[in-house]
């Protein structure tokens, strides 16, 4: 005798569940491998952040050095301008100062841009390397 759902009182539900198999069911992923991969992802992000931070600190230090040198140069230039007597000499010194200042500013901006670019490239390289490794890990997990 069975109830309205087709269950008989003497049916062993646990035995039925143990025998039940899903057709074409995917295997459970290796949780240890997934955890290790996630740990490596976090390590890669941490390393990339560390590189980016160190790069930002290097840029800030170099920018400060440039600013200090610029102030010292400007002070010297003002002293030289004050000592020039003839108006033609002052005009020539002003033109030379403007040219020199412009050239140094462009060189300094290029130096800072190069520092930033190197730092960013290194950080991105770390992430790209980890991404490629992660894709290989996924292929291996799927193949199992």
Query: What is the per-residue pLDDT for 116?
Result: 95
Output the six-digit token pair for 108.
Answer: 């300094």
In a domain? residue 8: no
In a domain? residue 47: no
In a domain? residue 43: no
In a domain? residue 24: no
In a domain? residue 102: yes
pLDDT digits (tens, 9 = 90+) for 59-112: 999 999 999 999 999 888 888 777 767 888 888 888 888 899 999 999 999 999
Does residue 6 register a pLDDT over 70?
no
In a domain? residue 134: yes
Domain coverage including residue 66: 53-144
Higher pLDDT, 43 or 82: 43
In a domain? residue 19: no
CB 37 within 8 A of CB 90: no
Give CA–CA dist 99/82, Å, rounded. 18
Count of structural domains within the chain: 1
Residue where the block lists tokens 């440039």:
66
In a domain? residue 17: no
């Amino acid at each position: 005798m069975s109830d309205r759902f087709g269950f008989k009182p003497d049916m062993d539900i646990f035995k039925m569940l143990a025998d039940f198999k899903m057709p074409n069911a995917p295997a459970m992923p290796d949780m240890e491998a997934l955890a290790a991969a996630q740990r490596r992802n976090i390590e890669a992000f941490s390393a990339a952040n560390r590189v980016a931070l160190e790069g930002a600190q290097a840029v800030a230090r170099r920018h400060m050095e440039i600013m200090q040198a610029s102030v010292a140069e400007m002070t010297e230039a003002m002293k030289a301008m004050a000592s020039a007597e003839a108006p033609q000499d002052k005009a020539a010194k002003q033109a030379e100062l403007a040219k020199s200042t412009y050239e140094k500013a462009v060189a300094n901006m290029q130096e800072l841009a190069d520092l930033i670019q190197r730092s960013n490239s290194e950080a991105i390289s770390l992430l790209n390397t980890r991404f490629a490794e992660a894709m290989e890990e996924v292929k291996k997990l799927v193949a199992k």
